[in-house]
Structure 1
Amino acid sequence: MAPVAAATAADTTSASVSKPATTTAAPAAIAWEHRLRPTVIKAGDAQPAWSLSERMAHYRVPGVAVAILRDGKVVSSRGYGVRDSVSREPIDAQTLFSTGSVSKVVTAATTLRLSAAGKLDLDRNVNDYLKQWQVPADPKWPDARITLRMLMSHTGGFNVHGFPDLQPGEPLPSLLQTLNGQPPSKTEAVRLIHAPGAQQDYSGGGVTIEQAVIEAVDAHGLDAVARREVFEPLHMRRSGFIAELPATTANVARAHDEKGQPTALPRGWESFPELGASGLWTNADDLAAFVAALLGSYRGSNDFLPRALATAMMTEVAPGNFGLGPRLNGVGRGRVFHHGGANDHYYAWIEGHLDSGDGLVVLTNGAEGDRLITEIRNAVTDAAHWPLNEPVHSVTLAADAVASADYRGNYRLDPRQPMDLRGVLADMFDVESLAIGGDDAGAITLQAAGSKRVHPLLPLTPNRYVAPEISVPATTLQVEFHRGADGRVHALTVLCGESRAHYLRE
């Protein structure tokens, strides 16, 4: 864990420097602030064009920072709203936010820079590097060999999805305590739960091992290594991996609950000691520079990362949709890398379009920020005419044309399906059986086994439906029913991006 004193150097020196809230190249600027919309639009409903201010009020999110990139350059970076709903101090492009799991992409970039320098081998057993801690042996997989490539793509097979935020004054666990699941850590010990490389299962625990590897080859700690390898080369002057951001730090977006009220008092923000997984504090300007650097490396316009390594970073590691750090979606001009961040009261988003060099950064300081980010992303996509993320319009089907009874019943995951095809669904929708319900008026619902939540499905075609209430990054979750030549529905497929999960009717 990086010492607090070292971490604060990055933000105190520039915190008082006044910078313009907006830096815009006029020819490339876009107007998106009055184009917010949902992803799925119900049949018969007009596509809304909400304003950012009204949706911030709707979700009770006091502050937002947004940066937009075009052709690898930052064309707009500015703040909206306030850092604190009580003091009403404004957000600007230099305001610090906690970024949650966006931290993992910066950690990955740090690892890749060390790999490019010959200090780390992405395919070497991490136990060869680790000193104070070793991946625990498991009799189920006695020959397990864990690599950084696995950890960065969430295919290592580890537990501990994420970490709880810690309130001001709570004791902070060390890296070793977190790995061992020892107090004051609030999570279990990091251990294998799947065969290494067999499936994607998102793991903050795995990224914590990645952090331990970095710190094993450089004893200065993650923040210092990232400062040398990432923050300083990219002029990210207010960024840092900081376990406990000091209360004296200037220009910080404070945490707000679901009612828009300040929380994590008296300081105003939580602590995030699992640095590599969720400990990054940064701002819109800095994070946009980071996205631009990754795009430039991939497109060959800079040498932040060697182009071959940047290409590997932006290529899925089977059987999931993660590359070496970011998630990946789409093909051709619609190919994007992205990652979200979700702490209790801070939500963040980055994305980069690998063909065009366009990109987006969104930072929020409210408990409902994730829903607001989706609508902001939709607005920017529409205004910039990006070839992806189009609105999904459901259709109206006559009640007597499609008998929902044909679809109702229980469906079980087909065990013969290759994990390479399930991809991300083996992680975010790891459901063995589904119940499809509905009524005689034509309504269709989906319920996962073991869950009390019943999700409505809206028709896109007579046999394909979308689940508007199931949130998935950068796409939608859809269900396609398969009716055979005998007229019977015998199976369904759940679709999410390029991933497919096939279920047989029981």
Structure 2
Amino acid sequence: MDAGQQTHERSHPTRPIIPHPGRRWRRAPLWAAMLLAGNAFASAPAALDETLPIKTALEKGLRPSMLKMGEPLPGWSLKQRMEHYHVPGVAIAVLKDGKVVHAAGFGVREAGTKDAVDADTLFSVGSISKVVAAATTLRHVAKGKLDLDRDVNTYLTSWKVPAAPAFKSSTLTLRMLMSHTSGLSVWGFEDYQPDEKLPTLVQILDGVKPAKSEPVRIAFEPGTRMRYSGGGITVEQLLLEDTQRKPLEALARTEVFQPVGMRRSTYVNPLPAKLGNIAKAHDKEGQRTALPRGYESFAEQAASGLWTSANDLGAFVQTLIASYQGKNPYLPHPLAVQMMTEVSPSHFGLGPRLAGDGPSRVFHHGGTNDSYRAWMEGSLETGDGLVILTNAPQGTQLATEIRNAISDALGRGVNPVLRTVALPVTALSDYAGTYRWDTSAPGELAGNLSAHFDSDTLEFGVVEGSVTIRSGTGPTVKLHALTPTRFVTPGDALFRLTLEFLRDAHGKVRAVRVDRTTGTLLFRREGAPGVQP
């Protein structure tokens, strides 16, 4: 199953699916440039509203996303859960009514030290890098320098997307790249250790060493399906650098970091140690890794190479909300609305992922590198939001519990605990079997689920009174019951799938329907009518 279905999209490949050569730019020292950073559009974070129970929530409000019927809320503290998940350091920013009202650090930057995390500590944020890169691109679109719907090969000069004669059309656009509907390959990228040489963008795109990934190529007809592609975002980065004749770092500094007030943020890799106040890398046991430097590098900057802080990322979320609401000219209002509108059949807009309706409407993105987990989220209507940065692999689970606590504290009721039920084994006994994807349904109905599974069959079983699901060679996952026919996968409300077994008028289970927000798939039981052998 999709490795990104939990809290974070992967920046490096775990999902079982399925600067340029000859060019150099002179840069002023990064830390000197930061001192000159402006703040044309951002406003200072609001003072903490003491009526907000955020502190209390972090002291005793962490909880899972699902609990059994009648099971009490556990009331975990952040300190307890950091210890449980072996996460040495966490930084959090909270927004309410469109303003950052709280930003703080917890724990330490490096295990075995007393170096405290604060709201300015730099963390690697993995795929959140893509949203900041998207804002950089959209600022150039707003100035008329780029067109969202023009063939990207008419912009690219140092490399071209190879043609794909097998498909009716192989024309790619920025809109496709930014919404993961381009048809390009390479889900994510591996980290680079301190002793490893970093590849150029062209080496990455062609899969040439020292790049660690396969070549980025068109895998299906552009615009027809959604498949998350870090490779596509790398093409977006190259397009920016080819057209503007500057590296991404310089472009992002001018178009994002300075106007938003992100004074600590950078795409420079390896991260210069002179910047200081850096959260170091840790493994799943909370032990230091990526030694001797203490953190990895990320050659695919736009896809996964951003280093930022809770204060900076909170300001970025605040600015995007204000642009969408027409309260900040950072992005023209019509363009901000496009950024926050799904591009069918994807659940991504132009950079962020979208979910929910009305007051529950949010944009969000996660980030996962080897040793860091990050999360950003903003409510487009209420202006609430949050940023969570961690420096260990199990920060994924921890961030979900923090998100639950803060959501409860803000009192919007948008992320309530889901109560599951226990069912007798007799109600489950005939669910086991092989179910095959019915591809005769229109592709538009599949939406964002079209690339979710790594196989066109699902294997269901019944183990110890629970229904289980497995896709292809992926792991076996336990489902949680809501009714005798409806089940959900584990995880946060933004990512879990709902599955409903369809029992006909003869009492026979013929199919299972899989739903998530903008996508629906139908899997027919093998041997049932309508299933091809």
- Kept after mapping to 2: 8 A contact 1:39/1:375: yes
Cα distance, 1:11–1:94 mapped onto 2, change above 3 Å = farther
Which residue in the other structure is 1:32 paired with?
57
Q: Report the TM-score, using the length of structure 2 for normalisation.
A: 0.89
- Kept after mapping to 2: 8 A contact 1:68/1:358: yes
- Kept after mapping to 2: 8 A contact 1:152/1:207: yes
Aligned partner letter, 1:482: L
- Are 2:471 and 1:460 aligned? no
Which residue in the other structure is 2:325 paired with?
299
Which residue in the other structure is 1:447 paired with?
470
- Are 2:497 and 1:474 aligned? no
Work out the CA distance in 2 between the residues paired with 1:445 and 1:322. 29
1:332-371 superposed matches below 5 A: 332-371=358-397
Work out the CA distance in 2 between the residues paired with 1:374 and 1:303. 32
Equivalent in 512, 520, 526 of residue 500 of structure 1:
520
SS of the equivalent of 1:216 reads: helix
**Cα displacement string for residues 64-102 of structure 1 (whole angstroms, at most 9, x for unaligned residues):** 000000111000011011101122200000000011000
Deviation at 1:428, TM superposition (A): 2.9
Work out the CA distance in 2 between the residues paired with 1:170 and 1:22. 42
Which residue in the other structure is 2:455 paired with?
431
Cα distance, 1:356–1:416 mapped onto 2, change above 3 Å = same
**Cα displacement string for residues 85-132 of structure 1 (whole angstroms, at most 9, x for unaligned residues):** 122200000000011000000000010000000000000000110001
Deviation at 1:189, TM superposition (A): 1.2
Deviation at 1:420, TM superposition (A): 2.2
Moved more, 33-42 or 472-481: 472-481
Which residue in the other structure is 1:283 paired with?
309
Deviation at 1:474, TM superposition (A): 2.3
**Cα displacement string for residues 7-45 of structure 1 (whole angstroms, at most 9, x for unaligned residues):** 733687599xxxx99951334463320211111213453
Cα distance, 1:263–1:427 mapped onto 2, change above 3 Å = same
Cα distance, 1:480–1:109 mapped onto 2, change above 3 Å = same
- Kept after mapping to 2: 8 A contact 1:179/1:205: yes
1:360-439 superposed matches below 5 A: 360-400=386-426, 402=427, 404-438=428-462
Work out the CA distance in 2 between the residues paired with 1:10 and 1:298. 32
- Kept after mapping to 1: 8 A contact 2:63/2:404: yes
- Are 2:71 and 1:45 aligned? yes
Cα distance, 1:230–1:7 mapped onto 2, change above 3 Å = farther
Work out the CA distance in 2 between the residues paired with 1:131 and 1:498. 36
- Kept after mapping to 1: 8 A contact 2:88/2:110: yes
Which residue in the other structure is 2:10 paired with?
none
1:120-139 superposed matches below 5 A: 120-139=146-165
Cα distance, 1:115–1:465 mapped onto 2, change above 3 Å = same
- Kept after mapping to 1: 8 A contact 2:454/2:472: no
Unaligned runs of 5+ in 1: none
Cα distance, 1:3–1:375 mapped onto 2, change above 3 Å = farther
1:126-205 superposed matches below 5 A: 126-141=152-167, 143-205=169-231
Deviation at 1:386, TM superposition (A): 2.4
Work out the CA distance in 1 between the residues paired with 2:255 and 2:493. 28
SS of the equivalent of 1:105 reads: helix
Deviation at 1:497, TM superposition (A): 2.9
- Kept after mapping to 1: 8 A contact 2:52/2:410: no
Unaligned runs of 5+ in 2: 1-18, 38-43, 527-533
Which residue in the other structure is 1:487 paired with?
507
SS of the equivalent of 2:83 reads: helix
Moved more, 413-422 or 282-291: 413-422
Work out the CA distance in 1 between the residues paired with 2:452 and 2:439. 18
Work out the CA distance in 1 between the residues paired with 2:26 and 2:458. 48
Work out the CA distance in 2 between the residues paired with 1:3 and 1:39. 48
- The total of aligned residue pairs comes to 496
Cα distance, 1:162–1:23 mapped onto 2, change above 3 Å = farther
Cα-Cα RMSD: 2.1
Which residue in the other structure is 1:310 paired with?
336
Aligned partner letter, 1:347: R
Deviation at 1:266, TM superposition (A): 0.9
Q: Report the TM-score, using the length of structure 1 for normalisation.
A: 0.94
Deviation at 1:3, TM superposition (A): 6.8
Identity of aligned residues (%): 49
1:198-217 superposed matches below 5 A: 198-217=224-243
Cα distance, 1:286–1:458 mapped onto 2, change above 3 Å = same
**Cα displacement string for residues 412-450 of structure 1 (whole angstroms, at most 9, x for unaligned residues):** 0011222222222222334310111115x7432112123
Work out the CA distance in 2 between the residues paired with 1:445 and 1:102. 32
**Cα displacement string for residues 396-422 of structure 1 (whole angstroms, at most 9, x for unaligned residues):** 22344x1x2221111000112222222
Which residue in the other structure is 1:71 paired with?
97
Equivalent in 253, 259, 263 of residue 237 of structure 1:
263
Specify which structure has the bigger relative contact order, considering alpha-carbon pairs within 8 angstroms and separated by 6 or more residues: 2
Work out the CA distance in 2 between the residues paired with 1:472 and 1:420. 25
Deviation at 1:265, TM superposition (A): 0.7
Which residue in the other structure is 1:270 paired with?
296
